[in-house]
Amino acid sequence: MADPERTGRRRTELPVGTQVAVAVLVLVPIVALLWVGSYAKAGPRLWGFPFFYWYQFAWVFLASACTWLGYQLIARARGQLERDREIDRRRDLSAPVTDPERRGEER
C-alpha cells in the first residue's frame, strides 16, 4: 500500500451513508450467489438454458453493475469532499492575514 506521506494524498473518510450503500452493493451479488437453494432448479428455461445456468450468467453482469455503482458512489463522495476542501482552502487564502509570521513580517 502506498504511504500517504510520500504520495501527498490523504485518506478521506467517506460519509456513513455512502459506506453502507457500497457495502450493500458489494454484498448483494455475494449473497445472491451463495444462496444456492434459490436457484438450484431447472425451470424456468430461457432460450433452452436451465434457470441454474442463466441465473448465474446474469449475475456476471449484475455484479459488474453493482461494483461499478459502488465505485461511482465512492468517487462522487470523494470528489465532493475534495471540492469542499478546495473551497475551504480558497476561503482561508482569501481571508486577511493577522498573524505576522504568516505575512513574513518579523516581530
Q: What's 15's DSSP letter?
A: P
**Helical (H) or strand (E) element with 5:** helix 4-7
- pLDDT score at 107: 47
Grid coordinates given for 34: 451463495
Between 89 and 77, residue with greater pLDDT: 77
Give the pLDDT confidence score for residue 25 in this predicted structure. Answer: 95
Q: Looking at residue 88, what is its pLDDT? A: 75
pLDDT in tens, 47-88: 888 888 888 889 999 999 999 999 889 888 887 767 777 777
- What cell was used for 6? 510520500
From the centroid of its chain, how far is CA 89?
Answer: 24
Whole-number Å distance between alpha carbons of 29 and 23: 11
Task: Write down the H helix ranges in 12-104.
Answer: 16-34, 51-94, 100-103
Residue 59: per-residue pLDDT:
92
Q: Per DSSP, what are the bridge partners of residue 49?
A: 46
Cis preceding-peptide flag for 15 (omega within 30 of 0): no
Model pLDDT for residues 14-29, shown as the tens digit of each residue: 888 889 999 999 999 9
Query: Structure pTM?
Result: 0.61
